[in-house]
Structure 1
Amino acid sequence: MILDLRHIFKDYTQDKLVIPVLKDVSLQVDKGEYVAIMGPSGSGKTTLMNIIGCLDHPTSGSYELDGQNVLGLKDRTLSDLRLNSIGFVFQSFHLMPRETALENVALPLSYAGVGKRARREAAKKALDRVGLSDRVTFKPTQLSGGQKQRVAIARAMVNNPKILLADEPTGALDSKSGAQIMDLFRKLNEEGVTIVMITHDEKIAAHAKRTLRIVDGEILKEKEDAS
């Protein structure tokens, strides 16, 4: 098991009023799984994703990532865990506009202290993995939306993370580009990459092998894919 979240609660305080966002959420994900977390706006799915990604802390509960107690880690250790164990893919790409595709993909390796030559080689391999070996020197303004998301996926995968987290990864794309990104996710999962994806779209969620539905901060049901 790579993700083990148990009895997760998350509250926010606004004007002395306590607002519950997650209510006793438990979630387990095995290595190599492809899970969609589906729910409407305001359901708590993004808050849950932020907790899984170590970007936010629950009010209470327990969370282990690959057997390690995440909630007991100090900030520096937590930052290293995010860098080396978790790859993030966002709806809006978050690419550096003045940097080439290669430089964007190599960025996490720079933070990890990897040498320049090794960074370039790893970034080239990552871009080749997502079908962009011919766009190495292109900047984001020279790329289509689908190509930008492929660069973002390559960047997320360049450190060989234990898990890939995707937040509405096709939300900014047309249907054709979105289908291509979903096909890429399928291939990555077939290669053994663990993927957790949040979406509000039934068609996108259908690409995952397991769907978890969340409404008003509570998991309603889990549905196994018939295939």
Structure 2
Amino acid sequence: MILNLQNIYKDYQQEKLVVPVLKDVSLTVEEGEYVAIMGPSGSGKTTLMNIIGCLDRPTSGTYELAGENVLKLKDRELSDLRLKSIGFVFQSFQLMPRESAVENVALPLSYAGVRKKERRIRATKALERVGLGDRVNFRPTQLSGGQKQRVAIARAMVNHPKILLADEPTGALDSKSGEQIMELFDSLNEEGVTIVMITHDPRIAAKAKRIVRIIDGEIYEGEGDGAVS
């Protein structure tokens, strides 16, 4: 088991009012799974994603990621775990506009202390893996939306993380580019990459092999098109 959330609650304080967002959420993900967490705006899926991504802490509950008790880690230890174990893909790509594709992809490696020459080699291989071997020196302004998201996926994968965590990965793309990104996710999952994808779109969620629906801070299980019985 690579991810194990048990009895997670998350409350926010608004003046004197306590607002519950997540209510007794339990979720496990095995290595190599492809899971979609689907819910409408305000359902709590972003809060859940932030907790899974070690960007926020729950009010109560337990969370183990790759065997580590996340909630006992100090901030620096949490940053190290995030760097080693999670690759993030965002709807808005979050690329550095003045840097080339290969420099964007190499960024996590610089945080990890990898030498410059090795960073470029590994970043180039990551771009080749997502079909952008001929775009390594292009800047984001020279790339289409789908290509930008491929760069973001390459950056997320370059450190060989335990989990690829994708937040609305097709939200800023046209339908054709979105379909290509979903095909890429399928290929990565077939290679053994564990994927947890956040989406509000049932058509995108159906591409996963397992669907977790979140409604009013509570989760319900289902299956995607790729599910096996």
TM-score range, shorter chain: over 0.9
* 2:123 is equivalent to residue 114 of structure 1: no
RMSD: 0.8
**Aligned mates of 2:84, 2:66 — CA distance in 1:** 12
Counterpart position of 2:83: 83
1:17-32 equivalence runs, <5 A: 17-32=17-32
**Aligned mates of 2:124, 2:221 — CA distance in 1:** 41
Instruction: State the TM-score, normalizing by the size of structure 2.
Output: 0.98
* Contact 2:205–2:224 (8 Å) recurs in 1: no
Deviation digits for residues 8-65 of structure 1, max 9, x if unmatched?
Answer: 0000001111000000000000000000000000000010010000000000000001
Instruction: State the TM-score, normalizing by the size of structure 1.
Output: 0.98
Question: Which AA in structure 1 matches 2:128?
Answer: D
1:95-174 equivalence runs, <5 A: 95-174=95-174
Unaligned 5+ segments in structure 1 are none
**Aligned mates of 1:116, 1:221 — CA distance in 2:** 44
Deviation digits for residues 129-162 of structure 1, max 9, x if unmatched?
Answer: 0000000000000000000000000000000000
Secondary structure of the residue that 1:24 maps to in structure 2?
Answer: strand
**Aligned mates of 1:223, 1:128 — CA distance in 2:** 32
What is the aligned residue count? 227
* 2:53 is equivalent to residue 53 of structure 1: yes
Q: CA deviation at 1:224?
A: 5.9
**Aligned mates of 2:108, 2:142 — CA distance in 1:** 22
Worse-superposed segment, 89-98 or 65-74:
65-74
Unaligned 5+ segments in structure 2 are none
Q: CA deviation at 1:223?
A: 3.1
Question: Which AA in structure 2 matches 1:216?
Answer: D
After TM superposition, which residue ranges in structure 1, 4 or more long, deviate above 4 angstroms? Answer: 224-227
